[in-house]
């Protein structure tokens, strides 16, 4: 058995796919000490710079003092507190929904929704580039799963043409985590609604980031968020904490409370995480300059890298995939960037398709202009050294 695992690992390593965990020595700010070297952090989901904000930290500390370090029980038994309910109401109001429910991660929220509301005989229509937690949720549901081509409304419509009698659900990332592009949410809604299918949008990367009020992709398109029947999100990215949520109708939330196993059989979120998210949510809404700056620097760096000759997917999100292709070359690119003080590791299969390896940059509102200039210059040098640009 052990030899078997060892052989598999050896093959994985040979293909250049083995993973190694890095060790950071502080909070995920724009500059981070990684294994004793100071680097510009370009791989964090701390989009608005709130994971190291003293107001958020103080709110977490206060929540721990008042409610304890652990919730110490499932929300259905003893783990639910007035603090949890405050956060659920705040999220529901923000997302224009009747109600919201907290989970211990965004991953769990996706498993919970998909595995409980879709069953054998139902149909799930899932974008080809959806997050792994959506794929796993689809598998758990035992529903029939039709994967439509990425962002392709025509392909989705064709697949929905032979929809059966069961429940139907269309599910998509709001912002795609590896490509940084935005799902055509209004088109998806126009297609799903008249066919009696629910639309589920996982706005993990858009929550706090897109839209005037940071509500996410619906807000970005000028659509009322409440029109999306199932809104999933995470507290672990722009909201600077940990945990996931689902916002929707009171009926949906009541249903999940009764049937979603990842909710029922897991301890409620730790009060510190809830306290941090409550403070972060307030700042997300009261300091729109963070969103504005993030968008501005994301567009500027995209332009800068494109001008140097890199293939960067266009867009306005803070996720910038810089196409390299070969997995080994991408890893070497990431290693050399680090020598120039930039932390932006390669993304390889299975996170992306074979041949689609890339450097994936993520930016923070708190990156300085100097940080961004150093990043651009590092790409120029390494890109020429490795022949990715001329
Ligand atoms: C990060 C992410 C998740 C998982 O959220 P966690 O709270 O980290 O578990 C789910 N969906 C998408 C699209 C994500 O990017």
The token duo for 63 is 């929540």
Give yes or no for residue 177 CB within 6 A of ligand 1: yes
* pLDDT of 16 above 80: no
Atom of ligand 1 nearest to the CA of 174: 13
Closest to 209 in 3D by CA, of 240, 186, 188: 240
Please give the torsion angle defined by the CA atoms of residues 331, 334, 336 and 342, in that order, rounded to the nearest 10 degrees: -170
Contacts of 259 by beta carbon, 8 Å cutoff, 6+ apart: 116, 117
244 forms beta bridges with 103, 234
Question: What number is the average pLDDT over the span 118-129?
Answer: 96
Task: List beta partners, residue 168.
Answer: 123
Ligand 1 pocket: which of 177, 216, 317 to mutate (most atoms within 8 A of CB): 177
| CB of 315 shorter than 6 A to ligand 1 | no
Residue 149 makes CB contacts below 8 A (sequence gap 6+) with 128, 155
Q: What is the distance in A from the centroid of ligand 1 to the CA of 107?
A: 6
Q: Which of 134, 171, 236, 245 to mutate for ligand 1's pocket (most ligand atoms within 8 Å of CB)? A: 236
Q: Is-catalytic flag, 296?
A: no
198-202: strand order across its sheet: 99-103, 244-248, 230-234, 198-202, 168-173, 123-127, 144-148
Nearest to 226 by CA among 211, 197, 247: 247
- Segment 225-245 mean pLDDT: 97
Bridge partners, residue 362, by sequence: 43, 319
Instruction: Please check the confidence at residue 21 and state whether its pLDDT lies above 90.
Output: no
Cα dihedral 266, 269, 270, 274 in deg (nearest 10): 180
CB 120 within 8 A of CB 143: yes
pLDDT at 329 over 90: yes
Quick one: pLDDT band at residue 321, thresholds 50, 70, 90? very high
Q: Which atom of ligand 1 approaches the CA of 176 most closely? A: 13
Q: How far is the CA of 384 from the centre of ligand 1 (A)?
A: 34
Measure 137 CA to ligand 1 centroid, in angstroms. Answer: 13
First to last CA, the chain: 49
**Beta carbon of 205 within 6 Å of any ligand 1 atom:** yes
The CB of 131 under 6 Å from ligand 1? The reply is: yes
Catalytic: 177?
yes
Close Cβ partners of 8 (under 8 Å, ≥ 6 residues apart): none
pLDDT score at 216: 97
388 vs 34, 305, 322, 359, 378, CA distance in Å?
Answer: 26, 12, 10, 12, 13
Kindly name the residue from 177, 236, 241, 298 that is annotated as catalytic: 177
- Tokens representing 15? 């293909």
Q: Which is the closest atom of ligand 1 to the Cα of 235?
A: 7
In the block, tokens 């950071």 appear at 24
- Which three-class secondary structure state does DSSP give residue 123? strand
Quote the CA–CA distance of 212 and 221 in Å, as a whole number.
10
Tell me, yes or no, if 95 is annotated catalytic.
no
Catalytic residue among 237, 241, 298, 367: 237
> Which pLDDT does position 352 carry in this prediction?
87
Query: 181-225: per-residue pLDDT in tens?
Result: 999 999 999 999 999 999 999 999 999 999 999 999 999 999 999
Strands 198-202 and 230-234: parallel
Taking 80 as the threshold, does the pLDDT of residue 237 lie above it?
Answer: yes
The per-residue pLDDT for 302 is 97
pLDDT at 99 over 90: yes
| Pair of tokens at residue 38 | 């100071």
* 325 within 8 A of 356, measured Cβ to Cβ: yes
Residue 280 confidence class, pLDDT cut points 50, 70, 90 = very high
Q: What is the pLDDT of residue 19?
A: 81
- pLDDT of residue 349 exceeding 90, the answer is no
Q: What is the pLDDT of residues 294-306, one digit of tens each?
A: 999 999 999 999 9
pLDDT at 140 over 80: yes
Instruction: Give the tens place of pLDDT for each residue, 158-174.
Output: 999 988 888 999 999 99
Atom of ligand 1 nearest to the CA of 130: 13
pLDDT in tens, 48-77: 999 999 999 999 999 999 999 999 999 999
Distance CA 318, CA 221 (A): 17
Q: Is the CB of 104 under 6 A from ligand 1?
A: no
**pLDDT given for residue 58 in this prediction:** 98
pLDDT, averaged across the chain: 95
Write down the pTM of the prediction: 0.96
- The beta-carbon contacts of 233-236 under 8 Å, at least 24 apart in sequence, are 233/91, 233/95, 233/106, 233/109, 233/202, 233/203, 233/204, 233/207, 234/105, 234/106, 234/109, 234/204, 234/207, 235/106, 235/273, 235/276, 235/277, 235/280, 236/45, 236/105, 236/106, 236/204
pLDDT of residue 164: 81
Q: What three-state secondary structure class fits 349?
A: coil
| Rounded Cα distance, 360 and 342, in Å | 12
> Which of 234, 245, 270 gets mutated to test ligand 1 (max ligand atoms within 8 A of its CB)?
234
Scanning the chain, the segments in alpha helix (DSSP H) are 2-14, 54-67, 82-94, 106-117, 132-141, 153-160, 185-192, 217-220, 250-259, 261-264, 271-286, 289-308, 327-339, 369-385
CA of 164 to the centre of ligand 1 (A): 30
Distance 162 CA to ligand 1 centre (A): 31
* 389 burial level (CB within 10 Å; 0-12, 13-18, 19+): middle
């Amino acid at each position: 058995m052990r030899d078997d695992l060892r052989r598999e690992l050896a093959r994985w390593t040979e293909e250049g796919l083995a993973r190694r965990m890095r060790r950071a020595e502080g909070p995920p700010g724009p500059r981070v000490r990684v294994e004793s070297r100071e680097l510009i952090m370009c791989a964090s989901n701390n989009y608005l710079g709130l994971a190291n904000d003293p107001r958020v930290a103080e709110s977490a500390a206060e929540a721990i003092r008042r409610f304890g370090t652990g919730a110490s029980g499932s929300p259905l038994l003893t783990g639910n507190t007035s603090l949890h309910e405050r956060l659920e109401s705040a999220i529901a109001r923000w997302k224009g929904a009747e109600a919201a429910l907290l989970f211990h991660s965004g991953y769990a929220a996706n498993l919970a929704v998909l595995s409980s509301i879709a069953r054998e005989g139902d149909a799930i229509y899932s974008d080809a580039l959806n997050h792994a937690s959506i794929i796993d949720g689809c598998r758990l549901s035992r529903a029939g799963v039709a994967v439509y081509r990425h962002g392709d409304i025509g392909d989705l419509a064709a697949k929905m043409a032979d929809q059966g009698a069961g429940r139907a659900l269309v599910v998509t990332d709001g912002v795609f985590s590896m490509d940084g592009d935005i799902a055509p949410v209004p088109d998806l809604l126009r297609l799903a609604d008249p066919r009696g299918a629910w639309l589920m949008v996982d706005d993990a990367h858009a929550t706090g980031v897109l839209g005037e009020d940071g509500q996410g992709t619906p807000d970005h398109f000028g659509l009322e968020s409440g029109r999306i029947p199932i809104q999933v999100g995470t507290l672990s990215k722009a909201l600077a904490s940990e945990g996931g949520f689902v916002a929707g109708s009171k009926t949906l939330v009541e249903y999940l409370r009764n049937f979603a196993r990842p909710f029922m059989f897991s301890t409620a979120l730790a009060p510190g995480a809830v306290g941090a998210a409550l403070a972060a949510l307030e700042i997300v809404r009261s300091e729109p300059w963070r969103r504005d700056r993030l968008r501005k620097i994301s567009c500027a760096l995209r332009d800068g890298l494109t001008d140097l000759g890199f293939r960067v997917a266009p867009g306005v999100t803070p996720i910038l995939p810089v196409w390299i292709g070969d997995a080994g070359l991408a890893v070497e690119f990431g290693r050399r960037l680090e020598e120039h003080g930039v932390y932006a590791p390669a993304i390889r299969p299975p996170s992306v398709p074979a041949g689609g390896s890339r450097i994936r940059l993520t930016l923070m509102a708190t990156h300085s202009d100097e940080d961004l200039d150093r990043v651009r210059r590092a790409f120029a040098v390494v890109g020429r050294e490795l022949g990715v640009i001329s």
